[in-house]
Amino acid sequence: MGRFQDWRTGTRYPDEGVEPLARSHVEAALFALNGPNKPYSVRTALAEEKADVVAEWHILEPAWGSGMGRRQVERTFKFRMRLDGATHEVRVCADVREETRAGDPPKRVVERMKGKGPRTRVKSWRGHYEKGPDGRRQRVDEFRFDSNDLRDPLQKVVLTAGWTWRGTHKP
């Protein structure tokens, strides 16, 4: 039952023989992921977030449609992380909040959605297909979002530090 539970929660373990680093080193490595060319930010959590570190990605998708039917989706994706130095594990809960606005310009909220959990993943893509230089059809991205682009670097930092990445419903 342990492997099934690990799969269900997205738990990952470090490679054998990797010596766990101190909590301060793990925190510093997580904060080092910040950068001017990164679409997300890693910061110290606020008291109401009930976590130690929060990685957050706020995105506003391009609007589509015209007139009153024009729609635009605003999405916030967060990883709330609690660092446990005694067991050398990072307990992670993913939160997603989505708001769809309508109008021109999009102001009126027509739909709200929120979710959380250990294996929450959000993907969104907008683009078109056109003929490439070799004559074959190719995809041209106008907009692309995948929450794994945030999760993967965080997970890599935690695992290379010798800590366990444990998905939970509450951090």
Render pLDDT for 74-111 as a digit per residue (tens, 0 to 9): 999 999 999 999 999 999 999 999 999 998 888 888 88
pLDDT at 1 exceeding the cut of 70: no
For residue 94, is it within any domain? yes
Q: What is the pLDDT of residue 84?
A: 94
Model confidence at 171, pLDDT cuts 50, 70, 90, reads: low
Return the closest-CA partner of residue 125 out of 52, 64, 67.
64
| Percent of the chain as helix, strand, coil, to the nearest 5 | 20, 45, 35
Model confidence at 67, pLDDT cuts 50, 70, 90, reads: confident
For residue 46, is it within any domain? yes
Q: Backbone phi, then psi, for 8, in 5-degree steps? A: -65, -35
For residue 136, is it within any domain? no
Element at 140 (helix H, strand E): strand 137-146
For residue 37, is it within any domain? yes
pTM (two decimals): 0.82
Return the closest-CA partner of residue 78 out of 92, 96, 60, 66.
96
User: Among residues of the chain, what percentage have pLDDT more than 90?
Assistant: 45
Residue 81 identity: M
For residue 142, is it within any domain? no
The residue among 157 and 127 whose pLDDT is bigger is 157
Q: What is the dihedral of CA 122, 126, 130, 136, to 10 degrees?
A: 0
The residue among 67 and 74 whose pLDDT is bigger is 74
Residue 26 identity: V
Domain of 60 in residue numbering reads as: 2-119+152-167
For residue 82, is it within any domain? yes
For residue 147, is it within any domain? no
Residues 6+ apart with CB under 8 A from 93: 51, 79, 80, 116, 117, 118, 167, 168, 169, 170, 171
User: Among residues of the chain, what percentage have pLDDT more than 70?
Assistant: 99
Total tally of structural domains belonging to the chain: 1
For residue 135, is it within any domain? no
